[in-house]
Amino acid sequence: MKVHQKGYLLLALNKSGTLWDYELIKKTLHEYNETGAFREKTLSIALDELAAAGLISRIEEKLETVGDQLKLRFKYKLSDFGVSRMVDTGLLLPW
């Protein structure tokens, strides 16, 4: 069975070091074979929740014009607290 989606977001960040939100969302949608704006929004909220809880940090932000819309993008990295919580919850093995 696949890991739950919030867990996958953390694992993907742990593997890649730093990622922009749209890269993380694209990876996750591909992993779970999902599509659509609603799913993208759901994952975007999950990233906001992870950042608010201190598990991931926003290290850079930018405004991007997509079509006729201006979108705010964040670059994330896993925090030390996030690594610790991943170990606690079995997403990472203790080293």
Partner 1 sequence: MANISTTAKFPDAITPDTNLKSALHKHYLRNQRWGFMWALWTAILWGAWYVPGTALWSEFPYVNIAADQQSLRLAATAVMTWIHAITVFLFLLLWNAVLGKVKDYGRTMVRFKTISKWYALASLCGGPLAIFGSYMAMGFIGPVFAAISSLFYPVIGAVIARLWYKEKISRRAAIGMCIIIFGGMIIYGPGLFGEMNESNPNAWLGYLGGIMSAIGWGTEGAVAARAMDVSDPDVGIHCRFSFEILFWGILILPALALFTELPIAELIINTVTHDKAMLWIVLAAACHAYCYTAFYKSFSLIGVGRGEAIGNLYAVFALIFIAAFTLQFPQWYFVLGLIFTVLGSFVMFSESAESVANLRDVDAPGAY
List residues binding partner 1 (CB under 8 A). 1-7, 10, 34, 38-39, 42, 46, 48-55, 60-66, 70, 72, 79-81, 84-86, 88-91
Q: How many CB atoms lie within 10 A of CB 25?
A: 21
Task: State which residue, 6 or 77, has the beta carbon closest to partner 1.
Answer: 6
Give the shortest CB-17-to-partner 1 separation in angstroms: 16
The runs of H, that is alpha helices, within 36-91 are: 37-52, 80-88
Minimum CB separation of residue 86 from partner 1 in Å reads: 7
Among residues 30 and 60, whose Cβ is nearest to partner 1?
A: 60
Residue 2 phi, psi (nearest 5): -70, 160
SS3 (DSSP) at 69: strand
Length of the chain in terms of residues written: 95
Closest CB to partner 1 among 16 and 66?
66
